[in-house]
Structure 1
Amino acid sequence: MPNPSIKDEDTYEALRDKGMSKEKAARISNAQANEDMHPSQKGGKAAPYEEWTKDDLYERAQEIGIDGRSSMDKAELIAALRSH
């Protein structure tokens, strides 16, 4: 049974076959299916994570639910955020 929250099942399945998480594959496939979004274009204008404070990195990790963030140093927080 198709998932109604997935707008482009073929793209979703191809991304899952490449090893992407369900969440990431859904985000990308839905963005590509939306004519108003351009997922291949460069994103926002936020500063690179290396320029963020550790507190800001921790707060972002908390927002997206990264486990073990309280024991991470700045480099580990950056790596975890980038791999999420």
Structure 2
Amino acid sequence: MAEKKSKDHGPSVKDDDVYEALRDEGASKEKAARIANASAAEGRSTVGERGGEAGDYQDRTVDELRKRAAELDIEGRSSMSKDELIDALRNH
């Protein structure tokens, strides 16, 4: 079976294979690019070991979720419910 050749996503994406895999899994363009670039700079295994350290969003307070949403510059966060904040954070 022939290996799938990944598309070139331009100079802003440093690891096209990782980017495409993340996009196929439903990650946003920004998140996929951030992870792909980190894996290119630091190595895939290093980035993979770092993953999963964040706690579950359900365990956080609304104030904590709003603070994280502010860090990511998510619009409309001040009027979002907890479920809306979680959805916005997961899909950023």
TM-score, normalised to structure 1, is 0.68
Unaligned runs of 5+ in 1: none
Report the count of equivalent residues: 81
Q: What corresponds to 1:26 in structure 2?
A: 33
* Identity within the alignment, %: 50
Report which structure shows greater RCO (CA 8 Å, sep ≥6): 2
Within-5 A mapping of 1:5-84: 5-9=12-16, 11-12=18-19, 14=20, 18=24, 21-33=28-40, 34-35=42-43, 37-39=46-48, 42-44=51-53, 46-84=54-92
Deviation at 1:27, TM superposition (A): 1.7
**Aligned-pair Cα RMSD in Å:** 2.8
After superposition, what is the alpha-carbon deviation per residue over 1:45-74, rounded to whole angstroms, capped at 9, x for unaligned? Answer: x32111101111111101110001111011
Q: Counterparts of 1:53 and 1:37 in 2: how far apart (Å)?
A: 30
Deviation at 1:79, TM superposition (A): 0.7
Q: Counterparts of 2:90 and 2:74 in 1: how far apart (Å)?
A: 11
Q: Counterparts of 2:34 and 2:67 in 1: how far apart (Å)?
A: 22
